[in-house]
A and B are shown apart, each in its own frame.
Chain A
Amino acid sequence: MKWVRRAAIIFLLAVALACVFAERLAPADYAHQFRDIPDAPASAAHWLGTDDLGRDRFSRVLHGTRISLLLAPAAALIASFLAAVVGGTAGFVGGALERAVMSGTDLFLSLPWFFLLITVRALMPLNVSPITSVIITFALLGCLGWAAAARVVCADARSLKNSDFALQARASGSSGYRLLRHHLLPNLRPVLYAQFWISIPVFILTEANLGILGLGVSEPLPSWGSLLRELEGYSSVTSNAWQFAPLLLFISVVSCFHLVVLDRELPA
């Protein structure tokens, strides 16, 4: 299966490179409305046609992918960091603190956080630029998405703390900090990596869901969520097959992320 993983990595790198050079590759400004040609099919001027407002779809896909691919890992990083701090501390200290923290985590997990996200977003100031709004959206996703990962990290930290090598280190006089720094954290890294990679497609999907509800990234900035809204409902789908390009890219990227993660997890 190594070749599949390699292909996935190459594909992700190609997408990432295309996004980095989006300004150079895009044939038009992603926000410019060519109002005489809405819903146009693919042509030399518009490689993936235009959307319902006449905006160049290829340019929007490039910029939308850049935003989703840049900010989803950032949100995943926030979530993984919080999971490491909360879950790691609870697992390492154990006892009453672990029980209290895990109860809090369970409570957090049971919250209808999608609605919470909608509420928090509604409370945001109105006069923010689209780029600020997208950063806030992903930051919120990161801050709300740590709980499931924290449970996994906590369980792993607890098992590491009670492992033979940790016992030996403690018997050899290692302090708590030294035990954490040199023995536990390095061994927690694979779990944290896995949680990080798993979170990326989850956040991409959540942003897409918010986008479909119209609560994601503000216009005119594109994201995968707003691009996928074109396919919302039977009436929106036209005979223009290029409309499906963002969906195809979205599925490919999320699948590639899963392939990369799966292959990392198997040896562990």
Chain B
Amino acid sequence: MSKRWFASLFVMVLTLGSATAQSGTELRFCLWSEPKTFNPLLVQDDSSETVRYLTGGVLVRLNRQTQQLEPELATAWKTSRDGRTITFALRQNVKFSDGTAFSAEDVAHTIQQMMDPNLHSPTGDSFRSGEGKVETKVLWADKIAIFFPAPIAGLDKLFDQVAIMSAKSPKKERAVLGPYYVAEYKAGSHLNLERNPNYWKHDSSGHQLPYIDSVRLDIQQNRDIEILRLLRGEIHLVNSLNAEYFDKVIAEKPALVHDAGPSMDSEQIWFNQVASAPLPAYKKAWFGSTNFRRAISESINREDLSRVVFRGHARPATGPVSPGNQFWFNTRLQPHPFDQKAAMKRLEQDGFRVQNGALRDKDGNAVEFSVVTNAGNKYRERMATMIQQDLAGIGIKLHVVTLDFPSLIERIARTFNYEACLLGAVNIGLDPSEQMNIWLSSAENHQWNPGQKAPETAWEAEIDRLMRAQASELNEKKRKEYFDRVQEIAWEQEPFIYLVNRNALSAISTSVQNAHPVVLRPQVFWNIDRLSLGSEVAQK
């Protein structure tokens, strides 16, 4: 009898011990800077964005793996034919982290806050479609309609960024609907996020999510230290790695790293085509010539850039959309091949010829120009140096100039005193409407010739027309046709000479289960509520 009693006690202790170990799970990783705000409507920086993703509850969520929209707090939604109204049916019996009930009033409150011009919400900017107010109408406690003054293409996807705030809770933005809430914040040190006890989501077996009890975010600006901590097992993941760190980790712990393929980010060169730029007329003529731009493009060995600069963790770029963007990428297009003979033929069409190893234009001017890039970015400096050698192959002398960032911006955005520029683009969203500020000829980010009063070339006028058409079209198929054509024009005219798409590289401890790194941000913890920790827990 007593033996059986001891055996039962032993089993109970073991069970309790194991339960305690399970309930104390903590995921650890680093933020590279201090979060600037906890107000989800004011998020602009990466760290605040991470906190918003981990704590905010949204009506709909873009599944980062399938790139399809999925219901969250809204069980169903419908966009009107004119693209001005969206109606959401809301999930019932949902509570905020502090126990306040969730209803359509909270959605209305969030939208009103977001569209308040005095708040200057960066999230709200995406919803500003035209003159006039955004109205909300609570139809029932679990149904709401939102009215916009003008149609917005891809309207439902924009709600992926809108974390719903409570209208009634005294905790304001600290009351959240996401998987975690901010329990502790020590400036300059760390944030502790605790599991939201009222999180609405359950797994298929009825277990409340998230699986991991808490998330500790250490504020660590030094990437070297972050990698060392990962290798020592002190943190569980690094959301984004560069090629060098990737190789460093793979050499020591190959099981940790993941290459999810080409990310949304691209690197590109463009020529200054601003009419009023302080450049000689003959150089303006070169930069304005499609043949010249295409020849430069065909003289650049993108495969070498991917292999040497990015150590194989990049892919030659085709255009403004990465192949990682499953729906919007134009599959008919291929990256421009490295073909210096074809490049010379194009240049000869414009009267260029090679004399004593140097390329000269029809007036005898030696082809020589500078490319500016930001100092301190080793990848861009290396790319520029490789391009320098590539262009020397067709007799072009390229000067690589690295400038501190403010000086660079001064030249490319204000004085236009530059010839060519090499920079990168970070595309967060998938929808082409998010690139309106680049492709419209009147836009300030139309970098090769910004702020045009009227399109200065026929192909820019065509891009303007197509971008506006896709933005006001609700049929996705038609929108895709329009934007495919934009990509084709960009490929033919090459106002941006796209070089490479960097791969989305990350590292995750083998103790993290259910992790499926993807190319969209946040690459590793996009399914945070389904991640769990195995036996190999990171040590403090």
Which residue from chain A places its CB closest to the CB of B384 in the assembled complex?
Answer: A219
Please indicate which of the listed interface residues A126, A229, A233, A236 has the most CB atoms of chain B within 10 Å of its own CB. Answer: A126
For residue A163, CB closer than 8 A to chain B, the reply is no
For residue A181, CB closer than 8 A to chain B, the reply is no
CA distance A130 to B247 in the complex (A): 32
Stretch at the interface among B255-263, B317-325, B372-380, B528-536: B372-380
Q: Is the pair B402, A235 in contact by a Cβ cutoff of 8 Å?
A: no
Q: Which residues of A contact B386 (CB under 8 A)?
A: 33, 35, 53
Q: Tell me the chain A residues, 22-64 only, with Cβ under 8 Å from chain B.
A: 31-33, 35, 38, 52-54
For residue A176, CB closer than 8 A to chain B, the reply is no
**With contacts A122-B404, A236-B244 known, is A214 near B388, CB below 8 A?**
no
Instruction: Return B114 CB to nearest CB of chain A, in Å.
Output: 39
Q: Which residues of B contact A122 (CB under 8 A)?
A: 403-404, 407
Query: How many chain-A residues does the 8 Å CB contact rule pick out?
Result: 29
Q: Mark B129-158, 1 if CB is under 8 A from A, else 0.
A: 000000000000000000000000000000
Q: Which residues of B contact A32 (CB under 8 A)?
A: 389
Q: Is the pair B385, A219 in contact by a Cβ cutoff of 8 Å?
A: yes
Query: How many chain-B residues does the 8 Å CB contact rule pick out?
Result: 39
Other-chain residue from A130, A218, A235 in contact with B242 (beta carbon distance below 8 A)? A235
**With contacts A214-B376, A234-B248 known, is A129 near B399, CB below 8 A?**
yes
Other-chain residue from A52, A119, A126, A214 in contact with B370 (beta carbon distance below 8 A)? A126
Tally of contacts, chain A with chain B, CB under 8 A:
85
Stretch at the interface among B24-32, B89-97, B223-231, B350-358: B223-231
Instruction: Return B379 CB to nearest CB of chain A, in Å.
Output: 10
Q: Is the pair B388, A220 in contact by a Cβ cutoff of 8 Å?
A: yes
For residue B185, CB closer than 8 A to chain A, the reply is no
Q: Mark A81-93, 1 if CB is under 8 A from B, else 0.
A: 0000000000000
For residue A127, CB closer than 8 A to chain B, the reply is yes
Other-chain residue from A127, A215, A233 in contact with B402 (beta carbon distance below 8 A)? A215
Q: Is the pair A213, B375 in contact by a Cβ cutoff of 8 Å?
A: yes
Q: Is the pair A218, B382 in contact by a Cβ cutoff of 8 Å?
A: no
Q: Is the pair A218, B400 in contact by a Cβ cutoff of 8 Å?
A: yes
For residue A128, CB closer than 8 A to chain B, the reply is yes
Please indicate which of the listed interface residues A31, A234, A235, A239 has the most CB atoms of chain B within 10 Å of its own CB. Answer: A235
Q: Mark A215-245, 1 if CB is under 8 A from B, else 0.
A: 1001110000000010011111001000000
CA distance A118 to B399 in the complex (A): 18
Q: Mark B340-372, 1 if CB is under 8 A from A, else 0.
A: 000000000000000000000000000011101
Q: Which residues of A contact B376 (CB under 8 A)?
A: 213-214
Other-chain residue from A127, A128, A239 in contact with B369 (beta carbon distance below 8 A)? A127
Q: Is the pair B419, A127 in contact by a Cβ cutoff of 8 Å?
A: yes
Q: Tell me the chain A residues, 74-133 only, with Cβ under 8 Å from chain B.
A: 118-119, 122, 126-130
Instruction: Return A102 CB to nearest CB of chain B, in Å.
Output: 32
Q: Is the pair A234, B308 in contact by a Cβ cutoff of 8 Å?
A: no
Q: Is the pair B385, A233 in contact by a Cβ cutoff of 8 Å?
A: no
Q: Is the pair A118, B404 in contact by a Cβ cutoff of 8 Å?
A: yes
**With contacts A118-B404, A213-B375, A214-B381 known, is A127 near B399, CB below 8 A?**
yes
Counting from the closest, the 4 A-B pairs by CB-CB distance are A214-B375, A122-B407, A234-B224, A235-B244
Cross-chain pairs A/B with CB under 8 angstroms, 28 sampled: A35-B307, A38-B308, A52-B382, A53-B308, A53-B382, A53-B385, A118-B404, A119-B407, A126-B370, A126-B399, A126-B401, A126-B417, A127-B370, A129-B399, A130-B399, A213-B375, A214-B377, A214-B402, A219-B388, A219-B400, A220-B400, A229-B378, A232-B378, A235-B223, A235-B242, A235-B245, A235-B248, A236-B378
Measuring CB to CB, which residues of chain A are less than 8 angstroms from any residue of chain B?
Answer: 31-33, 35, 38, 52-54, 118-119, 122, 126-130, 213-215, 218-220, 229, 232-236, 239
